[in-house]
Structure 1
C-alpha cells in the first residue's frame, strides 16, 4: 500500500512539474465595442489591455487566468448627457478548448469579475458624489481564436454582464424597463512569451 501511495505521489508531482514548465505568461490588447441594455445609449468603442498566464492542462485544453483594464459604457445621443465611460479591472478565467492537439483554432468559454474603479457618470449628473453605477459586474463570455506556433494569438469574444449597471433615478437614460446590463464585443491580439 505504501508503494502505491509513493507511486501516486511521484506521478502527481511529475505532472504538476511538467504543467508548470509549460506555463507561459503573455500580454494582450484589443478593441471593445460596448453598450448597456435598455438605455438610450448607442454602442461605444474602447480598449482593453492586460496580461495573462497560459496553463496547459492537456493537448486540447488550456486554462488562461487574466487581468485586464477594460473601457466600457455607451455613447450618448442626447445633449443632456455625455458618453458614459466605465473603467473596469477585469479578472477573467477563460477556458480554451483546442480543435487539434497542435493548438491553432480554439473555442473560449469563461467567467469574469469586473471591478468598476472609475466612471464619469457622477460627473455628468453632478449627483453630490454618490455612486451612480454598480461597483462590480460578473460576466460570462465566449468566443473563438487562433494561436500561431510562434506565440501570436488572435481572438474575438462576446462578454455579457449579469449585474445591472443601474442608473439610479435617471429616467432619461432608460429606453425600456429591465436591467441595464453591459454587453461587449471584443477583438484583439495576444502574445505568449517563451520562457
Structure 2
C-alpha cells in the first residue's frame, strides 16, 4: 500500500512539473466596442488591458486564466445624460481549442466575473440614494484567434453579460422593457513569453 501511494505521489509530482514547465505568462491589450441592451445608449468604444497565464493541457486544448481592466458602458445621444462609463476588473477563464497540434488557429469559449470598481453613473442616484449600476456581472464569451510561433496572438471575441446593469430610477435611459445587459465585441493582441 505504501508503494502504491509513493508511486501515485511520484506520478503527480512529475505530471505537475511537466505542466508547470510549459506554463507561459503574457499580456494583452485591445479595443472594446460596448453596448447596453434595451437602453437609449449607443455603442461606445473603450479599451481592455491585462495579463494571463497560458496552461497547455493537451496539443488541442489550453486553459488561459486572465485578469483584465475593461472599459465598457454606452454612448449617450441625449442632452440629459452623458456617456455611461463602467470600469470593470474582469477575471476570465478562457478555454482555447486548437484546430490541430501545430495549428495556431483556435476557438475560444469561457466565463468571466466582472467587478464594477468605478463608474460615472453613481453620481446620479435615485430617490433612495442608492447606487445606480450593478456591482458585478457574470459574462460568457466566445471568439476566434491565431497564435504565431514567436508568441504573438491575435483574437476577436464577443462577451455577453448575464446580470442586468439596472439604471434604477432613471426611466429616460430605458428604450424597452427587459434586462440591461452588457454586450462587448473585443479585438486585440496578446504576447506570450517564453520562460
Deviating beyond 4 angstroms after TM superposition, the runs of 4 or more aligned structure 1 residues are: 126-129
Shift of 1:103: 4.1
The answer for the alignment partner of 1:157 in structure 2 is: 157
- Unpaired segments ≥5 residues, structure 2: none
**Structure 2: how far apart are the matches of 1:3 and 1:126?**
66
Q: Is the CA contact 1:66–1:91 (under 8 Å) kept in the aligned structure 2?
A: yes
SS at match of 1:10: helix
Deviations 1:66-87 (A, max 9, x none): 0000000000000100100000
Matched, 1:190 2:190: yes
Q: CA deviation at 1:2?
A: 4.2
1:59·1:103 contact (CA, 8 Å) conserved in 2? no
Deviations 1:128-184 (A, max 9, x none): 863100000000000000000000000000000000000001110000000000000
State TM-score, norm by structure 1. 0.95
Alignment partner, residue 38 of structure 1 = 38
Q: Secondary structure at the residue paired with 1:133?
A: coil
* Corresponding residue number in structure 2 for 1:70: 70
Question: Which residue is equivalent to 1:92?
Answer: 92
Tell me how many residue pairs correspond in the alignment: 194
Q: Which runs of 5+ in 1 are unaligned?
A: none
Match of 1:101 in 2: 101
CA-atom RMSD in angstroms? 1.4
Counterpart of 2:121 in structure 1 is 121
Change in CA separation of 1:103 and 1:6 when aligned onto 2, cut-off 3 Å = farther
Distance 2:125 2:56 in 1: 49
TM value normalised by structure 2: 0.95
Alpha-carbon distance in 2 for matches of 1:11, 1:155: 36
